[in-house]
Amino acid sequence: MKKLVLASLATATIVLSFSAVAGYWDFRIYNYVDENGKVVGTLHFPCFNRKAVITGETTKNKVLVEAGTCL
């Protein structure tokens, strides 16, 4: 019985730790567009809490292109 309780506690701890870093598995790609709708830059948030990468110009108009989960 004691082993079952310890196993349940360990499982709960693992689940909570994964929940706390839910964004860890997600990626997002945005395009920066100018006032004419032309793409002038890209913002990429990679998985696993890696640093975001910006290429091109940044504007205040940001459009989500793709989002997903890394497996």
Statement: residue 15 has pLDDT above 70: no
Report pLDDT digits (tens) over 31-68.
999 999 999 999 999 998 899 999 999 999 999 999 99
- pLDDT band, very low/low/confident/very high, at 21 (cuts 50, 70, 90): low
Higher pLDDT residue, 58 or 6? 58
Mean pLDDT of 13-17: 63
Tell me how far CA of residue 18 lies from CA of 5, 10, 12, 21, 65, in angstroms: 20, 13, 10, 5, 26
Tell me how far CA of residue 2 lies from CA of 11, 15, 31, 41, in angstroms: 14, 20, 54, 57
Q: How would you classify residue 49: left for phi > 0, otherwise alpha for psi between -120 and 50, otherwise beta?
A: left
pLDDT at 2: 73
